[in-house]
Amino acid sequence: MLLQIPQVLTSDQVAKARGMLAAAEWVDGKVTAGFQSALAKQNRQLPEGSEAARELGAMVTSALGANLLFMAAALPAQVFPPLFNAYEGGEAFGDHVDNAIRQSGALRIRTDLSATLFLSEPDSYDGGELVVEDTYGVHSVKLNAGDLVLYPASSLHRVEPVTRGVRLASFFWVQSLVRDDARRTLLFDMDLAIQRLGQQVGQDDASVVSLTGAYHNLLRMWAEV
């Protein structure tokens, strides 16, 4: 499942992030790439332990926890501390698949989902599309600042060269309570259907109660806690 989630960050939060990133010191983006990925990666990255990375990461994590669409789609068990990168002057990230395991200090997670949170407005730079290939085809994603795209970390993906301006983004990974993408997608679709039905007939209607029970029984069977 590839899902676009609008307005994860407010315009004020985006402005704060861009201001802090403009004043930050950057390092080579290869510092967090695996051996194969490093061969294809050309960008800059905010050092993980920097004050700016910690403050902005906390802001993003808090926004994710308050976003009902993200919580329903990802069913997060662990969220990797958000990282931040910049592309300009032809920088790009060629075809790659994200590492299956990511570690930050004592935290180690299985990367079920990858996420990119766009921080630059799409008309402020040329290129920089996130291109994701999955069983349903090839998807080119370039979103408004503050919007997020969520997709399976096992997908082949790339970032096209940025030929004008600067592409700023946050990126991170999620270990989901439900590892299998098909099962997680089914639960998400059920959740949305239950919400729509509840709006039509009321949350206490027998059909809504029955479907909600079925949802939780499936989650109980599939969740890894």
Fold of 3-176: Jelly Rolls (2.60.120)
pLDDT at 76: 98
pLDDT at 151: 97
Residue ranges of the chain with per-residue pLDDT less than 70:
31-39
pLDDT at 88: 96
CA–CA separation, 184 and 1 (whole Å): 9
Domain ranges of the chain: 3-176, 181-222
| Amino acid letter, residue 201 | V
pLDDT at 41: 81
pLDDT at 135: 82
Q: Residue-wise over 2-34: b if at least 16 C-beta within 10 A, else e?
A: bbebebbbeeebbeebbebbeebeeeebbebbe
pLDDT at 32: 64
pLDDT at 134: 86
